[in-house]
């Protein structure tokens, strides 16, 4: 059992108000609980209170008592608590201790002193359940974001804790892997495990969850059964800032006429050592389009994006824009990329400085005015003086998008720009992408988000094993292809 008794927690930060307030909550053994709400509503803080990372690691002031299996989490050492509570974080990199996948899955079991034979048995069992046998004995540094998330889930599952706490576990996963994750959560439930999932993607948990807790501004706004939550209409969910319970309907989207000028990609080749990672002889994309880059985890989407931006120096091939044929060095000056893990590209002491860093710096007053406009459009103006690393995952994502807007580059590449974003902020991002397209920018969006695709993408490139399988706009045939790709989600 998990019990919150009059719990209020605020972080030791004078920079911003954050935390949770007056939580009274009991989660019985074996219950699957979905935590939902807008970005920054307190979902992650609540999960940290259960696994003991708050206030032990994330310091702050805690009033009230959090009990896990009858033990006060503040008085229980983390190594003791970790035997009962397994955690999968929003950013899987933050929980890795090894450099190889098999060692990472085994690490937790080794830490609690399990015999070698039992560790091997558990590795075999969880890799089979998650269908990740092909990821064994691989370097963690060579995996995609979604593949890293799978390894994080496997390493926690191998420890067989009583309680699983998952923070946005599907944020970087493709639809097929979300279906696998759903089966794993269902298996944990059948085993009588308690599962707490903080999520923006709700649909895959609807027939597994017992209960839905909706948080707003750090408080429990609604606590209802999953059945009652499932009866809420689309408009009600959107008003709450929540994602749809049903995959997007692509059949209603009208075909979009695009300009006649195009960007040509020719002879793109790249290898990781002896392993060919990308081979695209020719690809044509309309200039000014919002191009959705689709494909499964590990298909080569991020590799394609890095090569496109000139970030992989050994990549071969040219990018033709008008009369210019650009090699890797020239492409760096024309392209800007927002990475999947935005922590890699947040450098300054304040949000406003982060946006200013991407500008030319020729007119200080004009730059400051434009920075305010960008922050306002992304609902970040109130955070402009805060340190970017003090923000929630979704807020950091929007800061990085703001930097891309400020860069004024011709080609902008976004790797999972709505990862960890609620419905309202997804709409804001879609609106900003549309405005950039209207300004003549060409946008490449790597995404597993069908709602974002339905809102703003008008051209598509589908990648498999580093090759282009198909590309094109909103034709009837392509609508069916996209609907079939996302049909795993149903």
Q: What is the average pLDDT score of the chain?
A: 90
Q: For the segment 163-213, what is each residue's pLDDT rounded down to a tens digit?
A: 999 998 888 788 888 888 888 899 899 989 999 999 999 999 999 999 999
Q: Which of 142-146, 157-161, 397-401 has the lowest mean pLDDT?
A: 142-146
Q: How far apart are CA 369 and CA 391, in angstroms?
A: 22
For the segment 82-105, the average pLDDT, to the nearest whole number, is 89
pLDDT value of residue 40: 82
Q: How far apart are CA 297 and CA 145, in angstroms?
A: 8
User: What percent of the chain is modeled with pLDDT above 90?
Assistant: 63
Q: How far apart are CA 8 and CA 20, in angstroms?
A: 5
For the segment 222-240, the average pLDDT, to the nearest whole number, is 94
Helices vs strands, H then E, count in the chain = 17, 20
For the segment 98-113, the average pLDDT, to the nearest whole number, is 93
Q: Give, in words, the CATH class of 251-489.
A: alpha beta
Q: Is the pLDDT of residue 66 over 50?
A: yes
Angle at 447 between CA 19 and CA 244, to 5 degrees: 60
pLDDT value of residue 395: 83
Helix (H, G, I), strand (E, B) or coil at 406: helix
Q: For the segment 262-302, what is each residue's pLDDT rounded down to a tens digit?
A: 999 999 999 988 889 999 999 999 999 999 999 998 899 99
β partners of residue 35 = 198, 213
| pLDDT bucket at 420, cuts 50 / 70 / 90 | confident
Tell me 449's DSSP state.
Answer: -
Tell me 118's DSSP state.
Answer: H
For the segment 37-44, the average pLDDT, to the nearest whole number, is 89
Fold matches, 2-239 and 251-489: yes
Q: Are strands 2-11 and 19-27 parallel, antiparallel or unpaired?
A: antiparallel
For the segment 455-481, the average pLDDT, to the nearest whole number, is 94
Question: Could you tell me the pTM of the whole model?
Answer: 0.83
| pLDDT bucket at 488, cuts 50 / 70 / 90 | low
pLDDT value of residue 131: 85
Domain ranges of the chain: 2-239, 251-489
CA distances 166 to 48, 184, 345, Å, are 10, 12, 25
End-to-end CA gap in the chain: 31
pLDDT value of residue 390: 84
Helix (H, G, I), strand (E, B) or coil at 321: strand
pLDDT value of residue 490: 39
Q: Rounded to 5 degrees, what are φ and ψ at 441? A: -75, 150
Q: Is the pLDDT of residue 419 over 90?
A: no
Q: Rounded to 5 degrees, what are φ and ψ at 435? A: -65, -40
Instruction: Yes or no: say if 4 and 24 are a contact pair by the CB < 8 Å rule.
Output: yes
pLDDT value of residue 17: 53
Q: Is the pLDDT of residue 84 over 80?
A: yes
Q: How far apart are CA 240 and CA 212, in angstroms?
A: 13
For the segment 338-344, the average pLDDT, to the nearest whole number, is 83
For the segment 396-409, the average pLDDT, to the nearest whole number, is 89
User: What is the fold of 2-239?
Assistant: Rossmann fold (3.40.50)
Q: For the segment 116-135, what is each residue's pLDDT rounded down to a tens digit?
A: 999 999 999 999 988 899 99
Q: Are strands 262-272 and 275-286 parallel, antiparallel or unpaired?
A: antiparallel
pLDDT value of residue 39: 83
Higher pLDDT, 433 or 27: 27
Higher pLDDT, 131 or 72: 72
Residues 6+ apart with CB under 8 A from 56: 74, 78
Q: How far apart are CA 9 and CA 61, in angstroms?
A: 6
Q: Which of 92-101, 365-374, 451-460 has the lowest mean pLDDT?
A: 92-101
pLDDT value of residue 489: 44
Q: Which of 485, 40, 466, 465 is nearest to 457 (CA)?
A: 485
Residues 6+ apart with CB under 8 A from 257: none
Q: Which of 432, 439, 430, 431 is nearest to 411 (CA)?
A: 439
Instruction: Yes or no: say if 464 and 473 are a contact pair by the CB < 8 Å rule.
Output: no
Angle between helices 145-158 and 101-111 (to 10 degrees): 30
Q: Is the pLDDT of residue 76 over 90?
A: yes
Q: Is the pLDDT of residue 254 over 90?
A: no
Q: Which bin fits 190, alpha (ψ -120 to 50), beta or left (φ > 0)? A: alpha
User: What percent of the chain is modeled with pLDDT above 70?
Assistant: 98
Q: How far apart are CA 52 and CA 236, in angstroms?
A: 34
């Amino acid at each position: 059992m998990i019990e919150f008794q009059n719990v209020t927690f605020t972080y030791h930060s004078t920079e911003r108000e954050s935390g949770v307030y007056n939580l009274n909550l009991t989660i019985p053994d074996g219950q699957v609980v979905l935590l939902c709400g807008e970005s920054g509503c307190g979902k992650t803080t609540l999960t940290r209170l259960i696994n003991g990372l708050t206030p032990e690691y994330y310091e702050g002031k805690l009033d009230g008592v959090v009990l896990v299996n009858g033990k006060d989490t503040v008085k229980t050492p983390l190594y003791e608590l970790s035997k009962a509570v397994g955690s999968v974080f929003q950013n899987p990199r933050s929980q890795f201790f090894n450099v190889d996948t098999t060692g990472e899955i085994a690490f937790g079991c080794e830490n609690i002193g399990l015999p070698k034979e039992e560790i091997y048995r558990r590795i075999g069992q969880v890799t089979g359940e998650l269908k990740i046998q092909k990821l064994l004995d691989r370097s963690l540094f060579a995996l995609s974001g979604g593949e890293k998330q799978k390894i994080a889930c496997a390493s926690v599952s191998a420890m067989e804790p009583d309680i699983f706490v998952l923070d946005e576990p599907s944020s970087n996963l493709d639809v097929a892997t979300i279906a696998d994750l759903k089966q794993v959560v269902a298996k944990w439930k059948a085993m009588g495990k308690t599962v707490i999932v903080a999520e923006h993607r709700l649909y895959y948990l609807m027939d597994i969850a017992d209960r839905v807790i909706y948080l707003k501004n750090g408080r429990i706004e609604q606590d209802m059964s999953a059945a009652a939550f499932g009866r809420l209409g689309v408009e009600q969910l959107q008003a709450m800032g929540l994602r749809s319970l049903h995959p997007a309907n692509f059949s209603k989207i009208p075909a979009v006429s695009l300009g006649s000028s195009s960007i040509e990609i020719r002879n793109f080749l790249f290898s990781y050592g002896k392993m060919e990672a990308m081979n695209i002889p020719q690809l044509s994309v309309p200039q000014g389009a919002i191009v959705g880059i689709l494909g499964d985890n590990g298909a080569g989407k991020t590799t394609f994006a890095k090569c496109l931006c000139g970030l992989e120096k050994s990549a071969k091939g040219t990018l033709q824009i008008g009369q210019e044929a650009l090699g890797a060095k020239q492409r760096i000056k024309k392209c800007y990329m927002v990475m999947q893990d935005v922590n890699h590209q947040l450098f300054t002491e304040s949000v406003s400085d982060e946006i200013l860093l991407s500008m030319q710096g020729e007119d200080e007053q004009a730059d400051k005015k434009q920075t305010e406009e960008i922050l306002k459009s992304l609902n970040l103006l109130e955070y402009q003086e805060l340190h970017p690393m003090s923000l929630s995952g979704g807020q950091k994502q929007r800061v990085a998008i703001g930097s891309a807007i400020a860069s004024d580059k011709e080609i902008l590449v976004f790797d999972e720009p709505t990862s960890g974003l609620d419905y309202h902020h997804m709409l804001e991002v879609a609106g900003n992408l549309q405005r950039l397209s209207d300004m003549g920018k060409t946008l490449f969006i790597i995404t597993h988000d069908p709602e974002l695709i339905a809102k703003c993408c008008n051209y598509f490139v589908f990648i498999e094993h580093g090759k282009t399988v198909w590309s094109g706009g909103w034709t009837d045939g392509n609508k069916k292809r996209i609907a079939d790709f996302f049909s795993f989600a149903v």
